[in-house]
Amino acid sequence: MKSIILTISTAVSVLVLAGCSKEPLNNLTEEESRIYITNHDSTVNFGSYTTFSVADSVAVISNNRLEGKALTAYDAAIIAAVKAELQARGYTPVSKDANPDLGINISRVYNSSTGLISYPDYWGGYGGYWDPFYWGYGGYGYYFPTYYGSYTITEGALSIDALDLKDASADKQIMGVWNGLVRGTGIFRESNAAGQAKALFDQSAYFSVSQ
């Protein structure tokens, strides 16, 4: 029976959030905000593969819809970084027409959500410590309204998929054998590409020809 193994790591192991801060996550660096998630089929012997090919562009997916393919500076950097990591693990890059054992797809994934949020304690109410008499309204009480706000959030994620092309003909389907996902701040910055690829493969020690 096939099983999926999930591994998650973060740049920081413990976050201490101060209760008096309205926006505690603002203090995190870009690297500290990132989450690295890997999945793999536990029945697969990654040492049985020797060659690979990485798609020459990156898929852009928005709200579960393929918007097209792209090759930005970041896209080129992450493609190169993934190739380098796989070569470092003993795999040989070949063209897609040379029947590679593994096919690698890379995607930029965007999901947008909207909603309404209330902050009943956002005001803090500290102005109520002033004596109302100061304003000429002795005996009055203070009232601070609940704050409502609408929001639209677009979250981005980097997704890397390894596909078994070696057995595709026999199985009559292309099986995904590994996935790496990166979420957080600044993930589509060109200078971060190499570090992201390394982090994903570093926590996937089984992904190697020598395995």
Q: How many domains does the chain have?
A: 1
Residue 80, exposed/middle/buried by CB under 10 A (0-12, 13-18, 19+)? Answer: middle
pLDDT at position 13 is 39
Within a domain: 208: no
Higher-pLDDT residue of 96 and 125 is: 96
Nearest C-alpha neighbor of 204 from the set 177, 185, 186, 183: 177
Split at pLDDT 50, 70, 90, the class of 137 is: confident
Within a domain: 73: yes
Which residue segment(s) compose the domain that 90 sits in? 4-8+28-113+155-202
pLDDT tens profile 1-54: 344 555 555 544 333 333 444 454 466 677 777 899 999 999 999 999 999 999
For the chain, give the mean pLDDT: 83
Within a domain: 118: no
pLDDT at position 7 is 58
Residue 171: partners with Cβ closer than 8 Å, 6 or more residues away: 164
pTM flag (> 0.85):
no
pLDDT at position 77 is 98
pLDDT at position 143 is 65
Q: List the CATH number of the domain containing 66.
A: 3.30.160.670
Within a domain: 193: yes
